[in-house]
Amino acid sequence: MQRRSLIQAALTAATLTAFGVTSALAENPALKIGFVGVTSGPAAAWGISNQRSMEARAAWLNETGGYTIGGTTYDIEIVSFDDQKDPKRAIAGMEKMAQEGIHYVVGPNVDDGAAAVRPVAESNGIMYFPYAFPKSLYQAPASNAVLGMVANYQSGPAIYKYLMENKGVKTVAFIAANESDPLSQRDGGVAAAKELGLEVVSDNVTYQVDTTDFTPVLTPVMRSRPDLLVLSGVSPANAPQLIRSARELGFQGIISTETAQDAGVLAEGAGDLAKGFISVGGASTPELASPMMNEFVDRYTEMFGEYNDESNTKVYALEYILETLKAEPSAIDDVEAFKAKMDTFEAPNPYMNGDAKLRYVGMSSFGQKRQVAVPLVVNVYQDGAFETLFVAEVD
């Protein structure tokens, strides 16, 4: 009986939400922007912070009257598809987006999904903004993918260089999960470190994603006594445990990663041991965050109960899509116009103090402008929150 009423309640709730979503948009024509990523199962955290930042921003825009492109004011509607981190589903999701007449999609979150959706996106005229780093996605002949964040092979060298110059780091060790994305990122990081003249003392230790005890994994790495320990492509779930194990093993050096992390998760999982942990973030540290960023964080928190610092880096893709469309209204259903505009597009970055610009970059990494210029904000964790260590630009 209990179970039945629970299910009933759940069904009712679900139906209400479904209707709620469709009936909320009445006045303005809707501009649909897609999201294809993982929002359930083990890797749910990656996609959810993504989806939520888009939804929070869309709700904000709609509340303030919509978004005007080429004289028409649109309500922004986010259409999300959960690909369960399965590349086969990701393709289905992209097909779904094509079906909905959507030309701009954020996601997928992982390498294999991003590679798998490419044929669909290109044949249906969809620009997509994956959070995956393989260069082949963005180099010609690939044309429709735009890297939605700073790649590790871009942030890595910047961080290593900073640490070499400011902290006297000479040796570095890498550790990665035994999965496609982290391993690729580790290889990229190792190459970058060697190029900078760092001595790589350990680069072949990996761990299973489901590891519950990192002490045995880290012990041999610690024995190589590096100045810097890089957690390549570490997931927010594993980061605090790795930090904690490394510190408990007596590691005194610096720990860093090139992926975005959440301060709350670090505080809970590693506490004071996470002090000094370096990661790449968006622009929500107090020094950099513009009033608009602060309002975004407030609205996000209000909407979903808690904020996730990973969203700092994930707020940009939607902003880029909308700003570029505003600059080139014909691109609304013509991605060729969008691509053409990408070369010259420039707009102020509303989330950051100072005169940072939104523009497309990537010439040096990909040979074409297929990356959003997100400020490369390198953060350091201190007492429950991130502080900005330094800011750099990607070209």
Partner 1 sequence: MEQILANGVYLGSQYAMIALGLTLIFALMNVLNFAHGQMYVIGGFVTYTFYGQWGVPFVLALVMSCVTLAILGALIERYLFAPVIKGPAREESTMLLAAGIAFFLDAVILLVFGEKQSGVPKIVDGVFNYDFRLIMPYDRILICVLAILSIVAFIGLMQYTKTGRALRALAQDRTAAQLMGVNVDRYSMIGFALGAMLAGLVGGLLVTITGVNLGMGGATSIKAFMMVMIGGAGVISGAIWDGIILGFMEAIGLALLYQYGDITYLLIFVSLMIFLAIRPQGLMGKPWG
Partner 2 sequence: MFGFTSKQLARVGIFLFMIFIGVPLIVGATGRWDFYFTLTSVALLAIASAGVWLTFYIGRINIGQGAFALIGAYVSAILVVKAGWSFWISLPAAGLFAAVVAILIGLPILRLRGVYFAMITLVLTQVVTLTALALPITNGARGISNIPLPSGISVFGIPILPDFAAMENTKLAFYYTACILMIITYAALYRLVNSRLGHLCRSMQQNEELASSIGVNISYIRIVIFAISSFFGGIGGAMFGSIAQSVYPSSFQVADSVNFMLNCFLGGLGYVFGPMLGTLVLYFGWDLLFEFGKYQMLIYSTILIVIIRFLPNGLLSIRFGKGGDK
| Shortest separation between residue 150's beta carbon and partner 2, angstroms | 20
Dihedral sign computed on CA atoms, order 297, 302, 308, 314: negative
| Shortest separation between residue 126's beta carbon and partner 2, angstroms | 12
Q: Which is nearer to partner 1, 25 or 249 (CB)?
A: 249
| Shortest separation between residue 48's beta carbon and partner 2, angstroms | 9
> Per CB under 8 A, does 169 bind partner 2?
no
Rounded Cα distance between 301 and 310, Å, is 13
Q: What mask of x and - would describe binding to partner 2 in positions 76 to 115, judged by CB under 8 A?
A: ----xxx-xxxxxx-xx--xx-xx----------xxx--x
> Per CB under 8 A, does 271 bind partner 1?
yes
Q: Which is nearer to partner 2, 40 or 73 (CB)?
A: 40
Q: Among the candidate windows 99-107, 125-133, 232-240, 341-349, which touches partner 1 by CB under 8 A?
A: 232-240
Is 372:149 a contact under the CB 8 Å cutoff? yes
Q: What mask of x and - would describe binding to partner 2 in positions 265 to 304, judged by CB under 8 A?
A: ----------------------------------------
First to last CA, the chain: 61
| Shortest separation between residue 371's beta carbon and partner 1, angstroms | 27
Q: Which is nearer to partner 2, 93 or 226 (CB)?
A: 93
Bridge partners of residue 106, in order along the sequence: 35, 129
Tokens 């470190």 sit at which residue? 193
Write out the residues near partner 1 by the rule CB under 8 A. 2-3, 39-45, 48-49, 178, 204-210, 212-213, 215-217, 219-221, 236-237, 240-241, 248-250, 262, 264-265, 268-271, 306, 308
Write out the residues near partner 2 by the rule CB under 8 A. 7, 10-11, 13-15, 17-18, 21, 39-41, 80-82, 84-89, 91-92, 95-96, 98-99, 110-112, 115-116, 118-120, 123, 134, 136, 178-184, 187
